[in-house]
């Protein structure tokens, strides 16, 4: 392949409640980035309703594609390949993006590149830091996944540690609902905890020895028990201090294992990825710990932490130049794993 030629990838993302399309040049430069969010719609239900999400993707996917091309002042003849998320995610939602991508590829004669959604989150760092290169470790943390990943090349990924139960984002969302913050729990809890006392409330932590795995069910249960105990005693929870303490505790657990992974691998470069990487408490703890341990730290711009198609196009670019191609029989894989081993 002629690597001197600029390569433009059209990315499509529809794994959950964001319909998105983006065009990215050479894996690192965003040409256009369109997102149609459903968050406000699902807020009244307290979470994403899969069937409704799928229907909204159907309405939004082609307008997003048209807007992305229009903003880039490009046509499909300028595109080298189409990258699309095929997992993990909600099966109905994934199928909408896949169907659109297949239709484009069939009609325009373009190669199809299926992308793992989590690989996309990792690649969001390349869009924010064009000079960033592997190897590095990446803490991929979201509502559905929490993993420490060794990124040995642009397409070779190895999971070093993962959650054994709840994802960190799930632990945040659950408590946010219980204390009345609603959906989406992550940004609402982050906002609620600003200026709060991070030491006022304590929570239990699972001790897993030398393992790099996580366990958040105990932390979540500890928080729920504390809430119930205070209610039974007629005591009022200070929401600001409670959410600050809880998020700081989660961030500390995440940072400890990531630092441990750095020591075990000898890699001193760390990236954050996924929706929870936008959390200000997580960033503050990682900023502090990375300086303390002499680690290079990267995290995406806030707009690239949550689901978007630019990250899918970026991951698609690296898969494309590595020779990855998928047939039009590519199907959605709701529980798709990140590592290929």
**What confidence tens digit (pLDDT) does each residue in 222-265 have?**
999 999 999 999 999 999 999 999 999 999 999 999 999 999 99
Angle, helices 217-232/168-178, rounded to nearest 10 degrees: 10
Predicted confidence band at 340 (pLDDT cuts at 50, 70, 90)? low
Predicted confidence band at 48 (pLDDT cuts at 50, 70, 90)? confident
294-307 pLDDT, tens digit per residue, is 999 999 999 999 99
Residue 3 predicted with pLDDT over 80? no
Please tell me what DSSP assigns to residue 236.
P
The pTM of the full predicted model, rounded to 2 decimals, is 0.95
Determine which helix (DSSP H) or strand (DSSP E) holds 238, and give its type and residue range. Answer: none
Write down the pLDDT at residue 341: 41
User: How confident is the model over 18-40, as a mean pLDDT?
Assistant: 95
Chain-centroid distance, C-alpha 1: 30
User: How confident is the model over 7-17, as a mean pLDDT?
Assistant: 97
Range of weakest confidence among 43-47, 201-205, 217-221: 43-47
- Strand 81-87 to strand 157-162: parallel, antiparallel, or no bridges (unpaired)? unpaired
Domains parsed from the chain with CATH numbers = 8-123+305-321 (3.30.420.40), 134-302 (3.30.420.40)
The mean of the pLDDT values for the chain is: 95
Contact assessment for residue 111 and residue 95, using Cβ atoms and an 8 Å cutoff: no
204-218 pLDDT, tens digit per residue, is 988 788 899 999 999
Residue 23 predicted with pLDDT over 80? yes
Q: φ and ψ at 253, to 5 degrees?
A: -60, -45
Predicted confidence band at 175 (pLDDT cuts at 50, 70, 90)? very high
User: How confident is the model over 131-145, as a mean pLDDT?
Assistant: 95
Q: How many CA atoms lie within 13 A of 112 on its CB side?
A: 23
Write down the pLDDT at residue 186: 94
49-89 pLDDT, tens digit per residue, is 889 999 999 999 999 999 999 999 999 999 999 999 999 99
Q: Measure the CA–CA gap between 245 and 303, rounded to whole angstroms.
A: 25
Q: Measure the CA–CA gap between 224 and 206, rounded to whole angstroms.
A: 16
Residue 2 predicted with pLDDT over 70? no
Tell me the CA end-to-end span of the chain in Å, nearest whole number: 26
Which of 14-18, 43-47, 62-66 has the largest mean confidence? 62-66
Q: Is 238 exposed, middle or buried (0-12, 13-18, 19+ CB in 10 A)?
A: middle
Percentage of residues in the chain with pLDDT exceeding 70?
99
Contact assessment for residue 137 and residue 262, using Cβ atoms and an 8 Å cutoff: yes
User: How confident is the model over 44-50, as a mean pLDDT?
Assistant: 83
Write down the pLDDT at residue 209: 83
Residue 97 predicted with pLDDT over 50? yes
């Amino acid at each position: 392949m002629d690597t001197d030629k600029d390569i433009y990838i059209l990315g499509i993302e529809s794994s959950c409640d964001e319909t998105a399309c983006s065009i990215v040049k050479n894996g690192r430069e965003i040409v256009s980035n369109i997102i149609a969010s459903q968050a406000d719609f699902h807020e009244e239900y307290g979470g994403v309703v899969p069937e409704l999400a799928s229907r909204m993707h159907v309405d939004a996917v082609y307008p997003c594609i048209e807007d992305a091309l229009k903003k880039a002042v490009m046509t499909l003849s300028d595109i080298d390949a189409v990258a699309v998320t095929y997992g993990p995610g909600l099966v109905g939602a994934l199928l909408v993006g896949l169907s659109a991508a297949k239709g484009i590829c069939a009609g325009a004669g373009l190669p199809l590149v299926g992308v793992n959604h989590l690989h996309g989150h990792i690649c969001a760092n390349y869009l924010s830091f064009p000079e960033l290169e592997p190897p590095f470790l990446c803490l991929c943390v979201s509502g559905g996944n929490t993993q420490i990943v060794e990124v040995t090349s642009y397409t070779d990924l190895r999971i070093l540690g993962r959650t054994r139960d709840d994802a960190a984002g799930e632990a945040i969302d659950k408590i946010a609902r219980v204390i009345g913050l609603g959906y989406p729990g992550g940004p609402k809890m982050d906002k609620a905890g600003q200026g709060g006392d991070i030491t006022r409330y304590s929570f239990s932590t699972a001790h897993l020895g030398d393992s790099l795995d996580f366990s958040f069910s105990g932390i979540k249960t500890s928080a729920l028990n504390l809430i119930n105990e205070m209610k039974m005693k007629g005591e009022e929870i200070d929401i600001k201090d409670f959410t600050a303490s809880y998020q700081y505790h989660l961030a500390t657990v995440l940072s400890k294992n990531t630092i441990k992974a750095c020591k075990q691998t000898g890699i001193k470069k760390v990236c954050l990825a996924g929706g929870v990487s936008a959390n200000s408490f997580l960033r503050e703890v990682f900023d502090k710990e990375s300086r303390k341990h002499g680690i290079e730290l990267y995290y995406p711009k806030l707009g690239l932490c949550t689901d978007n198609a630019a990250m899918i196009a970026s991951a698609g670019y690296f898969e494309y130049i590595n020779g990855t191609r998928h047939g039009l029989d590519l199907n959605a894989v709701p529980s798709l794993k990140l590592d290929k081993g």
